[in-house]
Amino acid sequence: MAKRDYYEVLGVARNATEAEIKKAFKRLAMKYHPDRNPDDKAAEEQFKEAKEAYDILGDPQKRAAYDQFGHAGVDPSAGGAGFGAGGASFSDIFGDVFGDIFGGGGRAGGGGQRAYRGADLRYNLDLTLEEAVAGTTVKIRVPTLVECEECDGSGARRGTTPTTCPTCNGHGSVRMQQGFFSLQQTCPRCRGTGKIIADPCPHCQGQGRLRDQKTLSVKVPAGVDSGDRIRLAGEGEAGEHGGPPGDLYVQINIKPHPIFKREDSHLFCEVPISMVTAALGGELDVPTLDGRVKLKIPAETQTGKQFRLRGKGVKSVRGGVVGDLICRVAVETPVNLSERQRELLQEFEKSMEGDKHTPQHSSWLDGVKKFFEDMKF
């Protein structure tokens, strides 16, 4: 039976790009390869046919010969029987689909030992509000994996070096043939490192890394807030087999403050005042992060009234203008009254008869009365 046109097999136009040809083959291979269609001879033949077409059209030289001379212009041995040799391997074709499942990712180039980047670490740093606003420098101790100084991270006893793995020839992976299907997997002998350590370092037992603590000085910029992170490049865990170290991320957390509450660049505080000051007005000292300031309370001030002290907040680490300090007044009810004080308050209450002195209370009573009437209670 005459062979079908390779472009027809893959379902692409004759002017298709290499990417389009590769994508078409991926689609057919995913549909027909034997692992998905066990004991299905028809699917197996379709997979072989697609692979043969891809071996030719995926190679620029073979494709040029095929375009000029057709099937007669290409070597028949480059077809279906040549799945394990020539053309692209399974891991090459499906590498971006299956990642490192078949051990194809992360291999050191040129047959060298596989190196892994160290893990990133996180350290939670608690600061006072004052430290966060002004900036500070703190020393922290971080438990981590550090490079073994005895073997300089190689894992081999001093004076010796790891040898190339004879099973994978230093590649860290081996290719296995399952029928006509070729798979690549991590070398079982060296576990993907590409090297064998015959005489391990006694200090780190061949790991190249040790658990230890290191002391670091962290410069905290002014204006940081809870949730901000400071990145210390290269201060994470040491890498494996000479790989680069990870990073350390210092997570900022601001401890609760007895007076202030921060929201972005603004500070908030509650200022208790006596009912006499609220009624008659007055002046009192209010704390700020740079000292005391005078706050003038006008007469007839009610609970909840807010006063804004501009420029007495925080300048964010991200820049911008300094925020404000928002003071919320809370009128305090006197406690622990003497008998005479009670009598004076009762006399004062009698003198306040009428609604002109308590407009909010009178308005509230009118609202309650209307509510009861509407609900017919």
Cα 220 from Cα 136, distance rounded (Å): 5
What CATH number is attached to the domain comprising 312?
A: 2.60.260.20
Per DSSP, the residues of 200-212 read B-TTTTTSSEEEE
**Does residue 368 form part of some domain?**
yes
Structure tokens at 303: 């609970």
Instruction: Please count the other Cβ atoms lying within 10 Å of the Cβ belonging to residue 305.
Output: 17
**Does residue 352 form part of some domain?**
yes
Same domain, 299 and 210: no
Cα 236 from Cα 146, distance rounded (Å): 9
- Please give the pLDDT value at position 177: 65
Cα 154 from Cα 241, distance rounded (Å): 6
How many alpha carbons fall within 13 Å on the CB side of residue 367?
A: 6
Same domain, 246 and 152: yes
Structure tokens at 293: 């300031």
Choose the final residue of a domain: 237, 254, 271. 254
CA separation, residue 221 to residues 95, 228, 229, 259 (Å):
44, 11, 11, 23
Choose the final residue of a domain: 254, 275, 292. 254
pLDDT in tens, the chain (377 residues): 567 889 999 999 988 888 889 889 988 988 888 777 878 888 888 989 999 999 899 888 888 888 877 777 775 543 333 333 333 334 344 433 333 333 333 333 334 455 678 889 999 999 999 999 999 999 999 998 888 888 888 888 888 888 888 888 888 788 776 656 667 788 887 877 788 888 888 888 888 888 988 899 999 999 999 999 999 998 998 887 777 889 999 999 999 999 999 999 999 999 999 999 998 999 999 999 988 899 999 998 999 999 999 999 999 888 888 999 999 999 999 899 999 999 998 888 888 776 567 767 677 777 878 777 777 66
Amino acid 82 reads: G
Amino acid 140 reads: I
Same domain, 143 and 229: yes
**Does residue 340 form part of some domain?**
no
**Does residue 97 form part of some domain?**
no
Question: What count of residues does the chain have?
Answer: 377
Number of structural domains found in the chain: 4
Same domain, 268 and 248: no
- Please give the pLDDT value at position 70: 79
Cα 86 from Cα 89, distance rounded (Å): 8
Same domain, 240 and 137: yes
**Does residue 185 form part of some domain?**
no
The model carries a pTM of 0.57
Choose the final residue of a domain: 42, 68, 88. 88
Alpha helix (H) ranges present in 204-338? 275-280
Spatial CA neighbour of 207 closest among 154, 136, 248: 154
Cα 52 from Cα 66, distance rounded (Å): 12
Structure tokens at 174: 């081996």
Same domain, 292 and 314: yes
Instruction: Please count the other Cβ atoms lying within 10 Å of the Cβ belonging to residue 219.
Output: 10
Same domain, 250 and 265: no
Same domain, 320 and 351: no
Cα 351 from Cα 334, distance rounded (Å): 19
**Does residue 268 form part of some domain?**
yes
Show the domain range for 288.
Answer: 261-332
CA separation, residue 308 to residues 247, 266, 267, 270, 321 (Å):
42, 10, 10, 12, 15
Same domain, 210 and 141: yes
**Does residue 201 form part of some domain?**
no
Same domain, 312 and 354: no
What CATH number is attached to the domain comprising 14?
A: 1.10.287.110
Same domain, 16 and 44: yes
Main-chain dihedrals φ then ψ at residue 240, nearest 5 degrees: -90, 140
- Please give the pLDDT value at position 104: 36
- Please give the pLDDT value at position 102: 34
Same domain, 42 and 125: no
CB distance 174 to 167 below 8 Å: yes
**Does residue 116 form part of some domain?**
no
